[in-house]
Structure 1
Amino acid sequence: MDTLATDTRYSWTRLVLTLLVGTVINAGMWAIIVIMPAVEAEFGGSRAMASLPYTLTMIGFAIGNYAIGRAVDRFGITLTLTVAAIATAAGYALATLSSSLLMLSLVQLLVGFASAAGFGPLIADISHWFVRRRGIAVAIAASGNYLSGAIWPILLANVLQESGWRSVYLVMAIVTVVLVPPLALTLRRRVSEETQAAAETASVLNAKSSGLSPRALQYLLGLAGIGCCVAMSMPQVHIVALCVGLGFGPAVGAQMLALMLLGGVASRIVSGLLADRLGGVRTLLVGSFLQCLALFLYLPAGGMVSLYLVSMVFGLSQGGIVPSYALIVREYMPAKEAGARVGFVMMATILGMALGGWMSGWIYDVSGSYTLAFVNGIIWNGGNIAIMLWLLSRSRPRTPKGIPA
């Protein structure tokens, strides 16, 4: 395997650069959560209506993962990232001109679509550069998404408080267009045909062991992804609004979100190390069980301290789930289609986040509290667990001779 360009010093350097890109451009997914209370106060409407910009952001993010993933397969990561960064910055700028909740929601569709370049497409790209340590590499690359959500809200908190949400968006527009294109230029190198062929051999063997076609497995993973992310969205999307409703204020909610996401980063790193030993399916199951347990813990929590603690537990529980889907795709599906296949499954998980974000707001409007929204998440989480247990019972990933495990 020494002749193949995987798990080399360059691979790790590329991983660091990938993480930096993801930390910047993924802010498009999280910014709307932080400004949601300010947007609700400015434009009015119900909690479900105030969640609409986030829902359209996530729909755009979902579609972008698949569409941009296909573009990466065809045009490479550098050109795709550059165009996406410019489009993301343009979306931020246009959002500042919004005069209604509907207008902001439509612009957020663009922000979500373009910023998706920093998630599934980047994960698929880095997965080509690792075999022995693919689990930890994918986990680190995916952590850019959580680091973005943990870092930027804190860095921009003063801007939000003193100048309003429009100034926050203008700052992010400048940061994105200044930093991402130069970093994208450092990722121009592509894997060799020999590396691609070796990965193809491994995925063919694993696909045969599952007894499912790539398309059938892709749809099954998409369904599982919707289930786990409807559950995941309740704390991540509504923790700020929950804290405002309890009288703790948006700053406390933002801190809980940051704590949750930093815990998610730690969870992703540990899950990546675990995945290199257990494989994607088993690692996903571990994360899904832990996430379900954490959702149960939210039910009795109502004080500030208890919510801080449970938010940390939730972050530490669920961070490795979404990267595990990308690992399963790379274990069982053709390497040359990694961008599109990973993008499709990421799209499904994000649609689950979008659906769950809206659904939780609607349940709050109907019931007057978030208790039933947490119960709803637990039920969806159970569906994800059932699907992955069924898949595990059917297949055992294998490695061909000559390819290190």
Structure 2
Amino acid sequence: MITSSAPGRNVPTFVPDSPAAWRRLLIALAIATVGSVGVWSVVIVLPTVQAEFGGTRAVASLAYTLAMIGFGLGGVITGRLTDRVGIIPAMAMGVLSLLLGYLSAGISNALWQFNMAHFLVGFGASATFAPLMAEASRWFVRRRGIAVGIAGSGFYLSGALWPPLINRGITHYGWQTTHLALGIFCGAAMTVLVLILRSSIGRTQQHRPGADTRPSVDTRLSPNVLTVVLSIASFCCCMAMAIPQVHIVAYCGDLGYGVGRGAEMLSLMLAFGAVSRVGSGIIADRLGGLATLLIGSVAQASALTMYLFFDGLTPLYVVSALFGLFHGGIVSSYAIIVRETMPASEAATRVGTVIMVSLLGMSAGGWSSGMIFDMTGSYNAAFLNGVGWNALNAAIVLTLLLRSRARTAFA
């Protein structure tokens, strides 16, 4: 921490990569771990809600689809808000939306009401992902990759911690009471954490390093064209990523292992995803975001293929852990790529845009996998469909990597 030299004033100035930056990062991680529950709770409750309200697997999966649409659209809106006025107003919007979404879901009397409530749930959770990763990238220069990875790992830590608790709540108290409790707890906990983050930011000047310098990587594409290309790539990889994440619980139920086993596999998958996200940040600091993304894409395709050959209980635990370890750093790599290739002053908006399209891929992948299951009575065709989308993603990323070159001036 250093101080301003302005006459008569002793104003603290934020220093990138400093202990203050790491403290902010830990607060951001806690916020993301709580707030990202909005993405994972619907995966656990899907079989229960389908059984209570009736309907096909595809219709029940629309709750996840709408949550992902809300998450994606919210990422753009809260990202734009972050670029203009800062992270705190964006977080406040997210807390309110998450609270209203869970309370609405808890009092739903029809499946369409439950599904629509999850748009608000996803919108609220969005503030804890793309905007936080973009903001964390401004707190670090030398360790930017690992910082983005840690900020993004709250998404997976949430998925590792919450599913068993939600499953237990549904078993003992019912899905409606569980959703009401989630809304109250998350609203209160996130409010406290956001106030702590506001206090941390308020003690120093809002210095944003690198905002006026050139990006470090040149893909020889304009920012708008590159945003479109990255968005297409993110859609493709998330079409594949959605299949195990959305349907592993239902898949285990279909195989006779029970929903509880599926929830455990999801937690295991996401715990390894958190490890992968941090590890990918370390790799990105050495190799760059595009190379890290390509490694993750190829690894995800290999893990997805394993689901075609193994359906025993123990092998499914192993494959789910590998899937988490292989795919966890993919989405955060897009945030790193944006910071390497585009102006920092637009980071949250452009990261939010790419993440929005990726989550459209997640929502489409979750719904289409349910539809394929309804048509075939098996998830094998859905896994094959995912491998094809994954191959297209790898081809796009490889093309960008071959076109890219380092600039002499670094952000």
Aligned position for 1:177:
187
TM-score of the pair, normalised by structure 1? 0.95
Give, as a single letter, the amino acid of the residue that structure 2 aligns with 1:107: A
Which of these residues, 337, 340, 344, is aligned with residue 331 of structure 1? 340
Aligned position for 2:67:
57
- The structural deviation recorded for 1:156 is 3.1
Aligned position for 2:5:
none
Q: Provide the rounded CA distance (Å) in 2 between the counterparts of 1:40 and 1:194.
A: 49
CA contact (8 A) 1:5 1:192 kept: no
1:7 aligns with 2:30: no
1:126 aligns with 2:136: yes
Aligned position for 1:222:
231
Aligned position for 1:156:
166
1:307 aligns with 2:316: yes
Q: Summarize deviations over 1:215-274 as a string: whole Å, max 9, x none.
A: 000000000000000000000000001001111110000000000000101111111111
Q: Provide the rounded CA distance (Å) in 2 between the counterparts of 1:149 and 1:180.
A: 17
Tell me: CA distance 1:226–1:134, structure 2 relative to 1, closer, same or farther (3 Å).
same
Q: Provide the rounded CA distance (Å) in 2 between the counterparts of 1:228 and 1:243.
A: 23
Q: Provide the rounded CA distance (Å) in 1 between the counterparts of 2:212 and 2:273.
A: 31
Aligned residues: 398
Q: Summarize deviations over 1:266-307 as a string: whole Å, max 9, x none.
A: 111111111100000000000001000001111011111111
Q: Provide the rounded CA distance (Å) in 1 between the counterparts of 2:374 and 2:138.
A: 45
- The structural deviation recorded for 1:41 is 0.7
Aligned position for 2:102:
92
- The structural deviation recorded for 1:192 is 5.7
Which sections of structure 1, spanning at least 5 residues, go unmatched?
none
Instruction: Indicate the SS of the match to 1:128.
Output: helix
Aligned position for 2:275:
266
Which of these residues, 368, 381, 384, is aligned with residue 359 of structure 1? 368
Q: Provide the rounded CA distance (Å) in 2 between the counterparts of 1:322 and 1:131.
A: 20
Which of these residues, 273, 280, 284, is aligned with residue 289 of structure 2? 280
Instruction: Indicate the SS of the match to 1:20.
Output: helix
Q: Provide the rounded CA distance (Å) in 2 between the counterparts of 1:353 and 1:132.
A: 32
Instruction: Indicate the SS of the match to 1:336.
Output: helix
Give, as a single letter, the amino acid of the residue that structure 2 aligns with 1:201: T
Q: Superposition pairs for residues 104-143 of structure 1, below 5 Å?
A: 104-143=114-153
Q: Provide the rounded CA distance (Å) in 2 between the counterparts of 1:226 and 1:155.
A: 30
Give, as a single letter, the amino acid of the residue that structure 1 aligns with 2:88: T
Give, as a single letter, the amino acid of the residue that structure 1 aligns with 2:301: C
Aligned position for 1:76:
86
Q: Provide the rounded CA distance (Å) in 2 between the counterparts of 1:357 and 1:182.
A: 33
Q: Provide the rounded CA distance (Å) in 1 between the counterparts of 2:208 and 2:244.
A: 40
Give, as a single letter, the amino acid of the residue that structure 1 aligns with 2:94: A
Q: Provide the rounded CA distance (Å) in 2 between the counterparts of 1:211 and 1:192.
A: 34
Q: Provide the rounded CA distance (Å) in 1 between the counterparts of 2:300 and 2:331.
A: 12
Q: Provide the rounded CA distance (Å) in 1 between the counterparts of 2:408 and 2:22.
A: 23
TM-score of the pair, normalised by structure 2? 0.94
Which sections of structure 2, spanning at least 5 residues, go unmatched?
3-12
Q: Provide the rounded CA distance (Å) in 2 between the counterparts of 1:86 and 1:31.
A: 18
Aligned position for 1:47:
57
Q: Summarize deviations over 1:130-155 as a string: whole Å, max 9, x none.
A: 11101111011101111111101122
- The structural deviation recorded for 1:201 is 1.3
1:33 aligns with 2:48: no
Identity of aligned residues (%): 48
Q: Provide the rounded CA distance (Å) in 1 between the counterparts of 2:207 and 2:360.
A: 35
Q: Provide the rounded CA distance (Å) in 1 between the counterparts of 2:190 and 2:206.
A: 28
CA contact (8 A) 1:202 1:331 kept: no
State the Cα RMSD in Å: 1.7
